[in-house]
Amino acid sequence: MTVTTTRNGPIEIAYETCGPSDGRPLLLVMGTGGQMLSWPDPFCRELVAHGFQVTRFDNRDAGLSTRLTDAGAPGQLSMLLRPATAARYTLADMADDAVAVVDAMKWDTAHLVGISQGGMIAQAVATNHPGRVRSLTSISSTPTPRIGKPKGRTLARIIRAANPKKVRTSDDLGAYLITLAGVVGSPGYPVDEAELRELARRCYDRGGLDLASIQRQTAALVAAGDRRPTLANVRVPTLVIHGEADPLIRPEGGHATAEAIPGARLITYPGMGHDLPRALWPTIIGEIAALAGAAEQRPSDPRAR
């Protein structure tokens, strides 16, 4: 895959594509702090094998996309007390970035698959740009940060064990990802540490991990508020996937998302945490393909325009 760029105003967005041009258009949206490489290459190839043309991209403040370094980092207290003021940009802005990629691909509409904050961004695309969405798959996400938020002891474990401030080298980033997976990953599915180290090496060469960028993305998430009233207007086929052992966005977030969207289907997996276990790829990809197939066969709803 070759990296290409497009723009949403002053923001440059890096993206790459695999699969035939006549495949069903599918956009993958990553979560907080993650680069597009966090959608594994084999996962993307398996989606292509199911008939998709797959595009993944770096959100603003990640990877090769624009880093808003001059905006500084919002403080934790300001995010808590004045989230709208603390945010340097909004979740709606990040949704507009995703639509800019859809435009660059010359897709009228696309199937959206988002994980964690990427699921929130995909939800925002579905509510703010309904005519651009064929189907929506929201993974390990929530319609509002108030639902499914991690317990205090989980946050304390993350802060103690996986501190982005300690990441200064590629090896540090590998250790960070392995440690983080041990805290929020899937207890039922062991991680491949060699794969995480290789992911870290590739991500480090593309800008690595920046705490201020993570804080800016997080501030956008916190300031977004509650999407449930607008999600009630979503009319595209929707799949909600959540791990029953997810400690970072607890299962209540998935249940609330599915309850908010008319006709949404909720699938939960025992032993799955806040990641995408390889052993579940065939099942998850099969569900995404089935959803897309159903969406392709249904007549368009004028309310989604």
* pLDDT tens digits, one per residue of 62-114: 999 999 999 888 876 676 656 777 889 999 999 999 999 999 999 999 999 99
Is the pLDDT at 305 greater than 60? The verdict is: no
Is residue 162, in this structure, part of any structural domain at all? Answer: no
Round the average pLDDT of the chain to a whole number and report it: 93
| Residue 56 pLDDT | 98
Name the domain count of the chain: 1
Q: Enumerate helices (H) and strands (E) in the chain, giving the number of each.
A: 12, 8
Query: Residues 9-22: what's their mean pLDDT?
Result: 97
Query: Residues 252-281: what's their mean pLDDT?
Result: 98
Closest by CA to 52, choosing from 27, 30, 29, is 27
Query: Residues 157-184: what's their mean pLDDT?
Result: 88
Pairing of strands 238-243, 133-139: parallel
Is residue 301 very low, low, confident or very high in pLDDT (cuts 50, 70, 90)?
very low
* pLDDT, tens digit (0-9, with 9 covering 90-100), for 186-236: 999 999 999 999 999 999 999 998 889 999 999 999 999 899 999 999 999
| Residue 297 pLDDT | 86
Is residue 194, in this structure, part of any structural domain at all? Answer: no
Better-predicted residue by pLDDT, 277 or 80? 277
| Residue 2 pLDDT | 86
36, 27 contact by CB (below 8 A): no
Domain around 243: 4-148+212-304
Is residue 187, in this structure, part of any structural domain at all? Answer: no
Is residue 161 very low, low, confident or very high in pLDDT (cuts 50, 70, 90)?
confident
Is residue 16, in this structure, part of any structural domain at all? Answer: yes
Amino acid at 294: A
Is residue 37, in this structure, part of any structural domain at all? Answer: yes
CATH number of the structural domain spanning residue 236: 3.40.50.1820
| Residue 84 pLDDT | 74
Cα distances from 221 to residues 61, 116, 189, 265, in angstroms, run: 13, 10, 28, 24
Is residue 163, in this structure, part of any structural domain at all? Answer: no
pTM of the model: 0.94
